[in-house]
Amino acid sequence: KLVGSGWTVIQRRQDGSENFNRNWTEYRNGFGDFRREFFIGLEILHLMTNAQPHNLYIYLEDFNNNIRYAQYKNFAIGSEKESYAIKTLGEYSGNAEDALLNHKNAKFSTADHYFDKGLNCAENYNSGWWFNDGCYLCNLNAPYVSGNVENSNAIEWRTWHFKPLKFVQMMIKPNNI
């Protein structure tokens, strides 16, 4: 489920085998099984995306086997002191509509380390993510929910639809490759 070569997978959801309702330290360091579900870690992602410009590619598949993607040029996140905020989110291309733009400049939040105003979105949606004041337009770390039903607490890309996603994968690669 890749597009071309040279991509590094930074996050994968496929079967609910991994709990993504984790604390700040676990998201900073990364967790999971690289052969199944995992998150690479915010610190590694920060170091990689700040060493040189990177593209971000997001693969999305729903329970009807429909596939969409979103690609961004020049993706980078801040340091831990900057709460791993999405610092750079360049030009969008794809067929999923641009849900991530809504999260540009958002700081990464977990239930024990959150930044949204008044509402702990990470706690309410059982996941760590780049939540904004309205919580999210997309949340790829939400609980894995099987089936083709509308659910307000599932892996979603709301500019496509409000139904849970079966498979998602986030990948980065240097712009010069």
pLDDT tens-place string over residues 3-59? 788 999 999 999 999 999 999 999 999 999 999 999 999 999 999 999 999 999 999
- Average pLDDT of the segment spanning 143-158: 88
Give CA–CA dist 111/88, Å, rounded: 24
Beta bridge partners of 77: 86
Each residue's pLDDT tens digit, 117-131: 768 999 999 999 999
- Other CB atoms within a 10 A radius of the CB of residue 9 amount to 16
Residue 74 Cα distances to 1, 4, 69, 140, angstroms: 22, 18, 16, 20
| CATH hierarchy code of domain 8-174 | 3.90.215.10
pLDDT of residue 39: 99
Give CA–CA dist 2/64, Å, rounded: 19
Residue type, 27: Y
Each residue's pLDDT tens digit, 73-108: 999 999 999 999 999 999 999 999 999 999 999 999
pLDDT of residue 1: 53
Q: pTM score, two decimals?
A: 0.95
Beta bridge partners of 78: none
